[in-house]
Structure 1
Amino acid sequence: MTTRLPAGFSTTVQAADAHALRLAVHGYLDHDTCDEFASTVATLLDAHAARHGPALRHLHLDWTDLTAFDSSGLAALLGLRRRTHPAGITLHLHHRPAHFTRLLEVTGVMGHLTERARGADSPEAVIS
């Protein structure tokens, strides 16, 4: 399933099972698209919970096709972490482009975003 959002942005569900959901983020995650990103991911998380109950433990986000990321995108990602972490869902940030990694490092939030959630059954968070 691909969700089309404002020009230059979309998310794709790559795989899903009861314990893990894999999403790819494509295009720009910035001021113009961050609200739609947050809404889309919330809808996907709600649909997953409706289907599987509270079994989700890992949300994998693939950033391979991310072309732009700004502070608004970072705020949306931090908001996602505020929702997932208390629910026992660990975020995994895969295939991060240099500009994305740089913003996470400069702001000091990399470890916060990928911290293992309580109740998550994985070893430490994966940040590949």
Structure 2
Amino acid sequence: MLALQTDLTHDTAGEVLAQAIDRIDAGETHVDCAGLTRFDSSALAVLLALRRHAGRRGLTLAFTNLPTGLASLALVYGVDHLLSS
């Protein structure tokens, strides 16, 4: 399981994305978002990029424990269905 940690903002998005891609390339298909306490729209961009990356490799990611605020942000942007398991 890939457990995302506390911050996923513009400042950390590149590093988080690179590390998560490495984990997906190693076969990880479960992303746990429970640890996220500080995030912005960059978090959505990272999660969607991970989904696309996994899809290109024939994998389906499962996102769990999306914080309420992040789920609401996804709904506002109309991408909530892309993060549903």
Answer whether TM exceeds 0.5 for this pair.
yes
Bigger relative contact order, structure 1 or 2 (CA pairs below 8 A, ≥6 apart): 2
Q: Note the alpha carbon deviations across 1:49-82, whole angstroms, 9 max, x for none.
A: xxxxxxx4x6111111110221112112221122
Matched, 1:75 2:45: yes
Secondary structure, in 3 states, of the residue corresponding to 1:26?
coil
Question: Percent of aligned pairs with the same residue?
Answer: 38
**Number of residues of Structure 1 aligned to a counterpart in Structure 2:** 85
Q: Note the alpha carbon deviations across 1:17-64, whole angstroms, 9 max, x for none.
A: xxxxx1111101000110001110122233x1xxxxxxx4x6111111
- For structure 1, list consecutive stretches of 5 or more residues without a partner in the other structure: 1-21, 49-55, 115-125
How far residue 113 of structure 1 moved from its aligned partner, in angstroms, is 3.6
TM-score, reference length from structure 2:
0.85
Q: Which residue of 2 aligns with 1:108?
A: 78
Superposed CA RMSD in Å reads 1.6
Give the 4+ runs in structure 1 shifted more than 4 A: none
Residue type of the partner of 1:26?
Q
Q: Which residue of 2 aligns with 1:39?
A: 18
Secondary structure, in 3 states, of the residue corresponding to 2:11?
coil
Secondary structure, in 3 states, of the residue corresponding to 2:6?
strand
For residue 94 of structure 1, the aligned residue among 54, 64, 83 is 64
